[in-house]
């Protein structure tokens, strides 16, 4: 076991990306999704996957690949997750995935294990554990089943079935991509080194043993900037949509840029300092030994704990530095004078939640959407 910090009772909201939660809420509102989820549970698709794992893959435990098992135990201890099953699949594709609701399991492809160094492999395991922590496994399993079913239905109906399943599939893909951003943050909370996370993403993008030592992290991050600059053309935006709409993961360069930005945030530094939302404490309801402060009699202003700028009392994220403002972490200053009503203006709005933005806003003050990148 390493000397990495542990975070007992850490809540998923401590590192869950706001675009992940927003996309999941949108997914649940899509007509037909509840029916698909119900049918997947009824048919026991999880059991089908378990039978395949136990018969065709190598199960990792204390006596089988104990070094990998120790990585799993440490990742689960850091993020406070019950230890799932872990399997190795003989597949040269550099990939890993997590499924299962009642009994979650992680599968690592042999190509991934061969390519990654120990710290990078631990990062991947922490990423998959993060999916379990955030409650992604049910909808990921449903998405996997739906893609499989859509192919069969499309072949049987000469492509007509794909027209019926298309809207639901697009909604699942949209959420699936956003969920990876939360799991990337979980991997950083686990390995506690942003360079290691970025290096693992570089290997996922184009890693090979022969040239990996020549990779440059800064050059890789600059690719995300070049990608953003393509938005100046409407045709480029159309090409972006066509390339992304049926992807289950965001582009690796954008994920690297996003995780690099989050590693510099107050939210991440607070977690490393032991200040984070906990499952055993309700900062607003006063469960356990915590006594919630009485609400102020009048409307107040909130100071960002990172940069000190004043933001709205109901803001969840600082519109200047992107720092999280939650519960006891925020600084509340009483103000007896009521705030004037907001003035109407023509400021731009957030593409994720339609909240009004300032020209200097790098993050949406309402949902935390990073306005500089697409996923």
Q: pLDDT for 98-118, tens place per residue?
A: 988 778 899 999 999 999 999
Domain boundaries, the chain: 12-271, 293-375
Q: pLDDT for 43-79, tens place per residue?
A: 667 788 888 899 999 999 999 999 999 999 999 999 9
Rounded mean pLDDT of 28-39? 73
pLDDT of residue 245: 78
* Span of 19-23, 245-249, 277-281, 289-293 with lowest mean pLDDT: 289-293
pLDDT bin (cut points 50, 70, 90) of residue 174 is: confident
Question: What percentage of residues in the chain have a pLDDT greater than 90?
Answer: 40
pLDDT of residue 296: 44
pLDDT of residue 326: 64
Which of 207-216, 263-272, 291-300 holds the top average pLDDT? 263-272
CB 66 within 8 A of CB 46: no
CB 285 within 8 A of CB 292: yes
pLDDT of residue 24: 84
pLDDT of residue 284: 47
Write down the catalytic residue from 128, 180, 261, 267: 128
The residues, any chain, with a CB within 8 Å of residue 222's CB and separated by 6 or more, are none
How wide is the angle at C-alpha 98 spanned by C-alphas 94 and 100, nearest 5°?
155
Give me the sheet containing 310-311, strands edge to edge: 310-311, 301-303, 331-333
Dist CA 142 CA 32 (whole Å): 12
Better-predicted residue by pLDDT, 192 or 49: 192
Q: Is residue 319 pLDDT above 80, yes or no?
A: no
128 is known as an active-site residue: yes
pLDDT of residue 300: 59
């Amino acid at each position: 076991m390493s000397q990495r910090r542990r975070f007992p009772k850490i809540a998923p909201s401590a590192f869950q990306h706001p675009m992940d939660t927003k996309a999941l809420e949108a997914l649940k509102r899509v007509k037909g999704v509840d029916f698909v989820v119900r049918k997947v549970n009824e048919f026991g698709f999880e059991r089908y996957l378990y039978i395949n794992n136990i018969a065709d893959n190598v199960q990792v435990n204390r006596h089988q690949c104990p070094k990998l098992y120790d990585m799993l135990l440490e990742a689960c201890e850091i993020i406070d997750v019950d230890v799932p099953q872990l399997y190795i699949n003989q597949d040269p594709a550099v990939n890993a995935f997590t499924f299962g609701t009642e009994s979650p399991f992680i599968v690592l492809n042999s190509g991934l294990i061969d390519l990654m160094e120990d710290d990078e492999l631990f990062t991947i395991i922490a990423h998959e554990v993060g999916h379990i922590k955030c409650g992604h496994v049910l909808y990921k399993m449903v998405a996997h089943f739906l893609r499989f079913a859509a192919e069969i239905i499309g072949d049987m109906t000469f492509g007509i079935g794909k027209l019926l399943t298309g809207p639901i599939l697009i909604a699942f893909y949209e959420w699936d991509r956003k969920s990876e951003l939360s799991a990337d943050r979980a991997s950083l909370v686990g390995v506690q080194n942003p360079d290691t996370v970025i290096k693992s993403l570089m290997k996922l993008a184009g890693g090979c043993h022969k040239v990996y030592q020549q990779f440059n992290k800064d050059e890789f991050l600059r690719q995300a900037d070049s990608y953003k600059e393509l938005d100046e053309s409407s045709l480029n935006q159309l090409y972006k949509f066509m390339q992304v709409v049926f992807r289950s993961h965001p582009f690796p360069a954008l994920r690297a840029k996003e995780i690099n930005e989050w590693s510099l945030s107050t939210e991440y530094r607070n977690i490393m300092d032991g200040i984070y939302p906990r499952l055993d404490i309700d900062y607003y309801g006063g469960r356990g030994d915590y006594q919630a402060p009485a609400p102020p009699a009048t409307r107040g202003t909130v100071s960002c704990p990172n940069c000190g700028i004043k933001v709205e009392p109901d803001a969840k994220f600082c519109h200047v530095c992107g720092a999280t403002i939650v519960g006891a972490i925020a600084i509340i200053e009483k103000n007896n004078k009521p705030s004037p009503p907001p003035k109407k203006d023509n400021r731009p709005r957030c593409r994720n939640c339609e909240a009004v933005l300032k020209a200097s806003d790098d993050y949406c003050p309402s949902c935390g959407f990073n306005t500089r990148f697409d996923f």
